């Protein structure tokens, strides 16, 4: 095991997962490629969604990949940061909306 | 990139590598890096071996289409990514004698495109004379690569849009982004505003308008260690933003990959991006781009008349592998029978949709 759980060079080896399970790996990469093609949403829009999700799932490889992808597409840093905030808002909202659960429980248990 | 490194590079970049006596001003040093451990240890394949896998080695020229002449390395700007290492301190300027040798070739060439570049070609004292003479040769497409800000740099350049129009010159200009921040970061403070004013001045005389024959194309280079995205998508974004924000029209956008040489190589090394960038280029290798790479239809002439397979080879001092090496001995037939000189920087022209001075190739 390396000294660190995450090695930036491992991102280049992502495709290697296919070696240990060719069928599933191939299906995944075909699906992945298809998802990010131009569709009802532009590839540019999907890149920003991917960047936001990358932050929410806190995947360093994905953040690396989609920051670079955004730069290649000419996406500005302001657009990228807004996407990150959109992800963060949903994530913090998801925490906070559980506050209602806490309030319900509190009220139920209180006289 | 860390702010301190960025500041360091920005301050240094006010002068050329040559004026700074930077080791990369020596082309041998650049070649050592391009042939270095990353490739010598077999981690990445040499370009030669990579194209041999698809039966494309040795790379041979097709019909000559473009004669590209570099009239000097002097420039009013010192862009961070410049592969020419151009700047105000560069004194290499084509003389009228060499221009006359070029004109002789221009009059007799089978190429349909003449492409003048620099530096800022307009800073050559004989630039206007040369354009006037060359335009008489009746070349189908006569390109001048103008950095835009030169038009505003001095009163004597203010009439360049009219001069270009008079000689039906096709203007190709650099514009790294449609936002001020990204443009100024790569090309220097104030460059964005001046570029916008210059584009408006060109539009005013008819350049770049939708139905105009006065061609105005823009060149996009990524402002950092990443590859250009899809040329059509970028063109769409540039057109929309420049029209909405500044009422600017232009024809086409050429997306050009930065090659790992000269000042861009310096940046890659200083920012610790060299290895990742070379990986990106090699991973994006596209054999169909090799088939149409610009060295197969272009000859590049340096300010002192030497001949090269492309402007990048010129900057690495890799002269053509032919008996004919200088414009004074020019012979198209003999030249076309050469093998193209290649090295690892060539991966820059074969990545993704490919890259050339005319944009993507695949």
CA dist., res. A48 & res. A45, Å (int): 5
- Domain count for chain A: 1
Residue corresponding to tokens 């020596």: B26
With contacts defined as CB-CB under 8 Å, which chain B residues touch A68? 226
What mean pLDDT comes out for the span B236-253?
Answer: 96
In a domain, A26, yes or no: no
Residue with more model confidence, B280 or B186: B280
User: From CA B151, how far away is CA A69, in angstroms rounded?
Assistant: 34
Testing the interface with B: which of A45, A64, A72, A80 to mutate, by most B Cβ within 10 A? A72
CB contact set of B164 (below 8 Å; sequence gap of 6+): B144, B146, B171, B202, B207, B214
Higher local confidence (pLDDT), A21 or B185: A21
Residue B48: per-residue pLDDT: 98
CB contact under 8 A, A73 and B279: no
What is the predicted pLDDT for the residue at B10? 57
Instruction: Tell me which CATH code domain B3-349 carries.
Output: 3.20.20
Contacts of B233 in chain A (CB under 8 A): 42-44, 73-74
pLDDT band at B188 (very low <50, low <70, confident <90, very high): confident
Please report the pLDDT score of residue B146 as a whole number: 96
Mean predicted confidence (pLDDT) in B15-35? 96
Instruction: Give the range of the structural domain holding residue A52, as residue numbers without chain letter.
Output: 44-109
Q: For residue B129, give Cα distances in angstroms to B43, B157, B214, B242.
A: 51, 14, 20, 33
Give contacts of A70 with chain B, Cβ < 8 Å: none
Residue A6 belongs to a domain: no
- Each residue of B119-139: pLDDT tens digit? 999 999 999 999 999 999 989
Hey, what are B187's tokens?
A: 């090309």
Out of B181, B234, B279, the one facing A74 most closely (by C-beta) is B234
DSSP E strands in chain B: the ranges are 66-70, 113-117, 141-146, 170-174, 216-220, 253-255, 298-301, 307-308
Q: Residue A101 pLDDT more than 90? A: yes
Task: Decide if B126 contacts B96 (C-beta within 8 A).
Answer: yes
Chain A / chain B CB contacts < 8 angstroms? 32
Phi, psi of B271 (to 5 degrees): -95, 10
- Put simply, the answer to whether A71 touches B224 (Cβ < 8 Å) is yes
Token pair of B248 as six digits: 């600017």
Q: Contact, B1 vs B9, CB < 8 A?
A: no
Cβ contacts of residue A48 below 8 Å, gap of 6+? A70, A75, A79, A80, A83
**Contact check, Cβ <8 Å, B230/A43:** yes
Chain A CB contacts of B237 under 8 Å are: 44, 74
Q: Once rounded to an integer, what is the mean pLDDT over residues B55-69?
A: 96
Residue A56 pLDDT > 80: yes
Q: Tokens representing B221?
A: 């280079």
pLDDT mean across residues, chain B: 94
Question: B38 vs chain A: nearest CA distance in angstroms?
Answer: 14
- Selecting from B222, B238, B279 the residue whose C-beta is nearest the C-beta of A71 gives B222
* Under 8 Å between Cβ of B80 and B13: yes
The DSSP result for B36-97, as a single string, is: SHHHHTSSS--HHHHHHHTT--S----S--EEEEE-BSB-S---TT-SS--BTT---B--HH
* Nearest residue in A to B237, CA atom: A74
How far is B19 from B224, CA to CA, in rounded Å?
23
Q: How far is A87 from chain B (nearest CA, A)?
A: 24
Q: What is the mean pLDDT of residues B328-333?
A: 96
Question: Hey, of B180, B225, B233, B240, which one would you mutate to test binding to chain A, going by the most A CBs within 10 A of its CB?
Answer: B233
ipTM surpasses cut 0.90: no
Q: What is the DSSP letter of B257?
A: P
Collect all residues from A whose CB is shorter than 8 A from any CB in B: 8, 12, 42-44, 68, 71-74, 76
For residue A99, the distance in angstroms to the closest alpha carbon of chain B comes to 40
Indicate the range of A39-48, A82-91, B13-22 predicted with least confidence.
Answer: B13-22
In this predicted structure, which of B112-126, B172-186, B304-318 has the lowest mean pLDDT? B172-186
CATH code, domain carrying A74: 1.20.1290.10
Q: What whole-number distance in Å separates Cα of residue B29 and Cα of residue B35? A: 10
Structure confidence at residue B228 (pLDDT): 95
Q: For chain B, first and last CA: distance in Å?
A: 32
Q: How confident is the model at residue B176 (pLDDT cuts 50, 70, 90)?
A: confident
Two tokens at A5? Answer: 């759980």
Task: Report angle CA B321, B325, B326 to the nearest 5 degrees.
Answer: 160
Nearest residue in B to A73, CA atom: B229
Do residue B177 and residue A74 have CB atoms under 8 angstroms apart?
yes
DSSP class of B146: E
Is 60 exceeded by the pLDDT of residue B7?
no
pLDDT at B293 > cutoff 60:
yes
Does residue A74 sit within a domain?
Answer: yes
Q: Is residue A60 part of a domain?
A: yes
| DSSP helix/strand/coil, B102 | helix
**B182/A44 Cβ within 8 A:** no
Residue B266 neighbours by CB under 8 Å, 6+ apart? B9, B17, B22, B24
């Amino acid at each position: 095991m390396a000294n660190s759980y995450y090695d930036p060079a491992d991102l280049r080896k992502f495709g290697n997962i296919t070696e240990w399970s060719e069928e599933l790996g191939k299906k995944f990469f075909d699906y992945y490629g298809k998802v990010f093609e131009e569709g009802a949403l532009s590839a540019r829009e999907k890149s920003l969604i991917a960047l936001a999700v990358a932050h929410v799932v806190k995947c360093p490889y994905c953040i690396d990949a989609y920051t670079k992808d955004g730069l290649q597409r000419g996406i500005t840093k302001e657009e990228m940061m807004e996407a990150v905030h959109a992800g963060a808002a949903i994530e913090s909202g998801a925490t906070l909306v559980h506050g209602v659960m806490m309030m319900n429980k509190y009220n139920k248990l209180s006289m | 990139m860390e702010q301190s490194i960025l500041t360091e590079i920005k301050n240094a970049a006010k002068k050329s590598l040559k004026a700074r006596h930077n080791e990369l001003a020596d082309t041998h040093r650049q070649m050592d890096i391009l042939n270095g451990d990353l490739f010598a240890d077999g981690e990445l394949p040499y370009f030669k071996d990579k194209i041999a896998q698809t039966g494309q080695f040795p790379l041979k020229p097709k019909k000559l289409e473009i004669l590209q002449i570099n009239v000097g390395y002097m420039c009013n700007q010192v862009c961070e990514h410049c592969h020419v290492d151009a700047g105000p301190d560069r004194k290499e300027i084509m003389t009228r004698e060499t221009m006359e040798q070029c004109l002789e070739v221009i009059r007799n060439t089978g190429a349909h495109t003449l492409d003048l570049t620099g530096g800022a070609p307009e800073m050559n004292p004989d630039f206007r004379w040369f354009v006037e003479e060359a335009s008489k040769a009746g070349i189908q497409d006569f390109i001048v690569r103008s950095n835009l800000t030169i038009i505003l740099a001095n009163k004597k350049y203010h009439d360049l849009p009219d001069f270009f129009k008079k000689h039906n010159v096709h203007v190709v200009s650099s514009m790294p982004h449609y936002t001020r921040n990204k443009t100024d970061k790569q090309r220097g403070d104030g460059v964005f505003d001046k570029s916008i004013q210059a584009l408006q001045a060109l539009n005013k005389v008819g350049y770049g308008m939708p139905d105009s024959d006065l061609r105005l194309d823009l060149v996009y280079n990524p402002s950092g260690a990443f590859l250009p995205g899809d040329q059509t998508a970028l063109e769409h974004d540039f057109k929309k933003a420049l029209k909405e924000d500044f009422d600017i029209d232009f024809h086409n956008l050429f997306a050009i990959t930065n090659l790992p040489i000269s000042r861009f190589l310096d940046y890659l090394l200083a920012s610790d991006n060299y290895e990742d960038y070379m990986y990106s280029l090699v991973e994006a290798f596209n054999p169909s781009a090799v088939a149409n790479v610009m060295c197969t239809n272009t000859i590049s002439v340096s300010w002192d008349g030497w001949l090269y397979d492309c402007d990048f080879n010129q900057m690495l001092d890799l002269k053509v592998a032919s008996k004919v090496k200088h414009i004074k001995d020019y012979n198209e037939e003999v030249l076309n029978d050469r093998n193209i000189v290649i090295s690892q920087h060539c991966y820059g022209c074969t990545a993704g949709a490919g890259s050339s001075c005319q944009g993507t190739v695949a």
